[in-house]
Amino acid sequence: MPTFIGFNTQGQNKKFTLTDFELVKRDLANAFNIQQGQLPGRPNYGTTLWSFLFENQNSDTIEQILAEVQRVAGGDPRLYVSDAQVYPQQNGIRIDIQLQIVNSSTAERLAIFFDQETRRASFV
């Protein structure tokens, strides 16, 4: 029996139900694709990572990016980020994160690419 059950229409043809880790990943991707302050009624939802795309990628910037990843993931009580790494790319930023579902042994390493051109965050 699934622990988490949700609804998703992005990239789906007929089956709109997502469960467990797939639902958590979709919710995290949504949080990374919304700029902080753009969701009415929830000014802290979303991310400020998009403002780092055009910054010089030095140790201070990378530290701020990692703190923002922890903040966004920390907004979801189902998630725990055990590790995160930042890799500047030619057209954006790639962030590798080790996610774990709280109260579960389910864990997965994900790579998220923040693309400057499309202004979308997607799993690679």
DSSP 64-96: HHHHHHHHHHHTSTTEEEEEEEEEEETTEEEEE
Least confident of 7-11, 20-24, 98-102: 7-11
Instruction: Say if CB 98 and CB 70 are below 8 A apart.
Output: no
pLDDT of residue 70: 94
Q: Count CA atoms closer than 13 A to 12's CA, side-chain side.
A: 12
pLDDT of residue 11: 55
Share above pLDDT 90 across residues of the chain, in percent, rounded to a whole number: 43
| Domain range list for the chain | 5-123
What CA–CA distances, in Å, run from 109 to 17, 84, 95?
A: 23, 9, 10
Residue 80 pLDDT greater than 50, yes or no: yes
pLDDT of residue 114: 95
Residue 12 pLDDT greater than 80, yes or no: no
3 vs 60, higher pLDDT: 60
Predicted TM-score (pTM) of this structure:
0.81
Architecture field, domain 5-123? Roll (3.10)
